[in-house]
Amino acid sequence: MSTDEKKYRGYVGVFDSGVGGISVLREMIRELPNENFYYFGDSANAPYGEKTVEKVQELSMSIVDRMVNEGCKAIVVACNTATSAAVRLIREKYEKTMPVIGIEPALKPAAREEHHGRILVMATPVTLRLEKYHELSGRLAGEAEFIPVSCAGLADRVEKGNLDAADVTQMLEQMIGPYRGQIDGIVLGCTHYPFLKKQIHSVMGDVPLYDGGRGTARELHRQLSRHGLLNKGEEPGRVVLDSSLKTEEEMKIYRQLLDADIE
């Protein structure tokens, strides 16, 4: 590819199985307002969390290969599932050339804040099955009790938008409602779930929620700075939203979630 075709030269490439990584992108824009971001959601292939590990690896690598070819200076895997399944392979291939940042369920901050508490960990079936999660929860086992809840179907529902609809609350009621009043915190271990904060609170009451978005944004800041890759420009950076499902409705959901009030 000629340099002219490197249309995302100097951008930070960010990807997820779909709209979820936009929750991480929002934190990164807040942390690094002068950076240019190219966001790609693989909505045509979502959800990743119910696929085989090999399939998630193949899909993730082909997105990263393209981003690198198109000039991205760093890669953020804004998906817990793709990080668990593929970040090691992505690092093996690209870490010598550029920063590769992944996201992991926010067990550490949750255990720090809710010391010795009971913490629900909502995540996809793939994330909860893989070694990365077991290694992390095992390491922190003395600090808190973690209760994993495999939320098959939830990320896929977020993909469809209209999150105030009754079926979303019903799903949450079934998945996590039984723990109401019995836990001290909830880890949102999939980047789609921060868009459901309001709905989760309506089902679970005023329980603290933890996600890895802020930590990932800070790690990106550190890595860009360490590699001398921070954008020196003073003007606000550009944000390009892209998807493998480029319909009008889909791109509308992407834009809405970038601006949505989810705090």
Catalytic residues: 79, 190
Kindly state whether residue 192 participates in binding ligand DGL, applying the rule CB under 6 A.
yes
Q: How far apart are CA 191 and CA 23, in angstroms?
A: 6
The residue among 16 and 250 lying less far from ligand DGL, judged by its C-beta, is: 16
Minimum distance from residue 170 beta carbon to ligand DGL (Å): 19
Which regions of 91-163 does DSSP assign to beta strands (E)? Answer: 100-101, 118-123, 145-150
Kindly state whether residue 29 participates in binding ligand DGL, applying the rule CB under 6 A.
no
- Please give the full DSSP string across 222-255, using - where no structure is assigned: HHHHHTT-----SSPPPEEEEESS--HHHHHHHH
Burial label, 118 (beta-carbon count in 10 A; 0-12, 13-18, 19+): middle
Minimum distance from residue 196 beta carbon to ligand DGL (Å): 12
Kindly state whether residue 40 participates in binding ligand DGL, applying the rule CB under 6 A.
no
Strands laid side by side in the 37-41 sheet: 100-101, 74-77, 12-16, 37-41, 239-243
Q: Which of 48, 133, 146, 195 binds ligand DGL (CB under 6 A)?
A: 48
Q: Which of 36, 60, 150, 191 binds ligand DGL (CB under 6 A)?
A: 191
Name the residue among 113, 119, 120, 148 with its Cα closest to residue 133: 148
- Lay out the site mask for ligand DGL across 49-88 (x = CB under 6 A, - = otherwise): x-----------------------------xxx-------
The residue among 81 and 243 lying less far from ligand DGL, judged by its C-beta, is: 81
Minimum distance from residue 47 beta carbon to ligand DGL (Å): 3
Burial label, 140 (beta-carbon count in 10 A; 0-12, 13-18, 19+): middle
- Lay out the site mask for ligand DGL across 116-135 (x = CB under 6 A, - = otherwise): --------x--x--------
> Measuring CA to CA, how many Å separate 56 from each of 41, 62, 228?
13, 10, 31
Kindly state whether residue 46 participates in binding ligand DGL, applying the rule CB under 6 A.
yes
- Please give the full DSSP string across 10-61, using - where no structure is assigned: TPEEEEESSSTTHHHHHHHHHH-TTS-EEEEE-GGG---TTS-HHHHHHHHH
The residue among 18 and 148 lying less far from ligand DGL, judged by its C-beta, is: 18
Minimum distance from residue 189 beta carbon to ligand DGL (Å): 7
Kindly state whether residue 150 participates in binding ligand DGL, applying the rule CB under 6 A.
no
Q: Output the six-digit token pair for 247.
A: 């319909």
Minimum distance from residue 229 beta carbon to ligand DGL (Å): 25
For ligand DGL, which stretch binds (CB under 6 A), given 14-22, 93-101, 110-118, 240-248? 14-22
Minimum distance from residue 155 beta carbon to ligand DGL (Å): 3
Q: How far apart are CA 244 and CA 236, in angstroms?
A: 26
Kindly state whether residue 217 participates in binding ligand DGL, applying the rule CB under 6 A.
no
For binding to ligand DGL (CB under 6 A), which residues are involved?
A: 16-18, 20, 46-49, 79-81, 124, 127, 155, 190-192
